[in-house]
């Protein structure tokens, strides 16, 4: 089973009629409200790819938290590891203008009350795959990874941004997933030259490093622990890349494939297919759609 620990948020996405400066009053051409946050998105993408997934995190006792729980359950995702708090559920506001530039305003709220102990110790074993994101505080992720390692559980961490990154965070990981455009900033955070990042991840940290291109819709490449390189290319349609969730689609699908026993090249092939479909359709695809897209 995939144990996905991370932020649970209600997401409000607005496609704006124009750019703006404060103060202003503008209209949204279209809007969408949905259960989101990187962990939530990746859990849904993994479940639709055929994996059994359990979500661990914290929500508020409000209508947003109820909506998130219902959404996850409809996707067949276990919610028994989700704690409830009197603090409001986390929210994300994503604003997208005509140039496909994106601004994100988020409030973690109840997510800040999540603790590593929420991850069920009895579910940590060699069959479990832990899925993490660097939204969560570094000390919590490190504690989770240490607990997972003692129980021989594997772990994947996705880096959608360059915050909450420390060298020790990588000590107990098996796979890291980073987008190409974020890689330079992450290398700077880790105080390693961009030119030698492959040696750092493979030799010093003993992890497989997956680098996505354009959040995965343009392909991905991997540098394994043995410094072998694998690559999957894609020729995406002329689709705006500012829309949310493409990277999460890649990460969730990739994790599902690894849990199913696929090797790195095959897992990347499926994940790139999923990312391209999410870019085209603004939704997480199901396994059948992903496989049909490979033909």
Answer yes or no: is pLDDT of 110 > 90: yes
> Measuring CA to CA, how many Å separate 132 from each of 173, 199, 236, 247?
10, 23, 27, 14
How many other CB atoms are there within 10 angstroms of residue 34's CB atom? Answer: 17
Question: Could you report the per-residue pLDDT of 54-85, keeping only the tens digit for each?
Answer: 999 999 999 999 999 999 999 999 999 999 99
Q: Is the dihedral of CA 62, 63, 64, 70 positive or negative?
A: positive
Domains and CATH numbers, the chain: 2-8+38-81+117-294 (3.40.1190.20)
- C-alpha to C-alpha distance for 77 and 57, rounded to whole angstroms: 13
- In sequence order, which residues have a C-beta less than 8 Å from that of residue 232 and are 6 or more positions away? 219, 220, 221, 265, 268, 269, 272
Answer yes or no: is pLDDT of 107 > 80: yes
Question: Could you report the per-residue pLDDT of 119-163, keeping only the tens digit for each?
Answer: 888 888 999 999 999 999 999 999 999 999 999 999 999 998 888
Q: Which residues of 52-71 are buried (b: 16+ CB within 10 A; e: fewer)?
A: ebbbbbbbbebebbebbbeb
Question: Could you report the per-residue pLDDT of 240-266, keeping only the tens digit for each?
Answer: 554 558 999 999 999 999 999 999 999
Please state the rounded mean pLDDT for residues 42-48.
97
Q: What percent of the chain has pLDDT over 90?
A: 67
Please state the rounded mean pLDDT for residues 96-113.
87
pLDDT of residue 39: 95
pLDDT of residue 234: 83
């Amino acid at each position: 089973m995939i144990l996905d620990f991370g932020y649970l948020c209600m997401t409000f996405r607005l496609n704006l009629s124009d750019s703006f400066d404060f103060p202003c009053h503008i209209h949204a051409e279209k809007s969408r409200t949905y259960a989101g946050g990187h962990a939530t998105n990746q859990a849904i993408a993994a479940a639709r790819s055929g994996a059994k997934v359990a979500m661990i995190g914290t929500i508020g006792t409000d209508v947003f938290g109820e909506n998130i729980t219902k959404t996850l359950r409809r996707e067949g995702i276990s919610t028994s590891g989700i704690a409830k708090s009197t603090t409001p559920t986390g929210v994300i506001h994503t604003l997208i203008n005509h140039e496909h530039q994106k601004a994100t305003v988020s409030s973690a709220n109840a997510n800040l009350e999540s603790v590593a102990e929420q991850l069920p110790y009895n579910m940590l074993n060699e069959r479990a795959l832990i899925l993490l994101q660097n939204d969560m505080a570094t000390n919590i992720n490190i504690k989770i990874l240490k607990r997972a390692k003692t129980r021989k559980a594997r772990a994947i961490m996705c880096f959608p941004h360059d915050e909450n990154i420390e060298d020790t965070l990588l000590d107990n990981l098996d796979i890291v997933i980073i987008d190409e455009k974020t890689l330079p900033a992450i290398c700077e955070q880790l105080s390693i030259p961009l030119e030698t990042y492959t040696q750092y991840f493979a030799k010093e940290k003993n992890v497989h490093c997956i680098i996505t291109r354009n959040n995965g819709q343009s392909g991905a490449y991997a540098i394994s622990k043995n410094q072998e390189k694998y690559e999957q290319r894609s020729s995406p349609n002329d689709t705006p890349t500012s829309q949310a969730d493409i990277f999460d689609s890649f990460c969730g699908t990739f994790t599902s494939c690894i849990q199913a026993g696929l090797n790195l090249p095959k897992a990347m092939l499926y994940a790139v297919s999923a990312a391209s479909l999410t870019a085209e359709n603004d939704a997480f695809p199901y396994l059948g759609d992903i496989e049909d897209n490979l033909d």
